[in-house]
Amino acid sequence: MPFDTLSFSFLYDDIDLSSFSCVEQDLTDFLIEDARKNQDARLSVTRIVSYEEQIVGFFTLTNDCIIRKGIGDDDGEDGYPYPHYPALKIARLATHEEFEGRGIGRAMLVRTMAIAMRLSQYVGCRMITVDSKPNSEGFYLKYGFQRALLKKKRNMTPLYRDFYRPYQEAEKSMSPTLSDFDRQR
């Protein structure tokens, strides 16, 4: 499904969530029963993804950190003096069961990366983390996430992605650099 056919919006009170259903019932339940409450309490923020007026997915983001010892040697910043890296956590991500396999999950990850890049311009944020369900781990690994060097949590696998590393690599080979554009606001 082309990215430009999807619309992304914040979860508002007037959005009817009753038609959403995904394979993982606990994700459907979270969206319908808890997402608004968590958002109102400033614990997380949920975005709804729609296609032709139908909810086809959602993702929920919150702040996080990852212990420096939990990431690979090729990630992070040389000489970083703190024990944790600031991160943006994908707390929930789900696609409507009738729309699986159409690129909606990928579109939500792309949007999450864009949000992380924007966030990192205002506050420290270097990693994106997710505690993946076993049947979703392959999805995240396919898009550059890695297993954290940490113990599993409650049948979940902690994963992370240093979203800034590819940005740094691109900077080395570009003229003008991406940073030049960042400064032009």
Domain borders along the chain are 3-183
Specify which residues 13 forms β-bridges with.
Answer: none
Specify which residues 153 forms β-bridges with.
Answer: 156
Average of pLDDT values for 160-184?
66
Q: How far is CA 45 from the centre of its chain?
A: 11
Average of pLDDT values for 116-142?
94
Classify burial at 157, counting beta carbons within 10 Å of its beta carbon; exposed 0-12, middle 13-18, buried 19 or more.
Answer: buried
Q: 26-54: per-residue pLDDT in tens?
A: 999 999 999 999 999 999 999 999 999 99
**SS in 3 state form for the chain?**
CCHHHEEEEECCCCCCCCCCCCCCHHHHHHHHHHHHHHHHCCCCEEEEEEECCEEEEEEEEEEEEEEHHHCCCCCCCCCCCCCEEEEEEEEEEEECHHHCCCCHHHHHHHHHHHHHHHHCCCCCCCEEEEEECHHHHHHHHHCCCEECCCCCECCEEEEEEECHHHHHHHHHHCCCCHHHHHHCC
Spatial strand order of the sheet with 6-10 comes to: 6-10, 45-51, 54-67, 84-95, 127-132, 157-162, 146-147
Average of pLDDT values for 105-130?
95
- Residue labelled with tokens 């940005």: 167
**What pLDDT, on the 0 to 100 scale, is given for residue 184?**
45
**Is residue 151's pLDDT more than 90?**
no
Looking at CATH, the fold of the domain delimited by 3-183 is given as Aminopeptidase (3.40.630)
Q: 52-81: per-residue pLDDT in tens?
A: 999 999 999 999 999 999 999 889 998 999
**Closest to 66 (Cα-Cα) out of 44, 83, 80, 91:** 83
Alpha carbons 26 and 9: distance in angstroms, whole number: 22
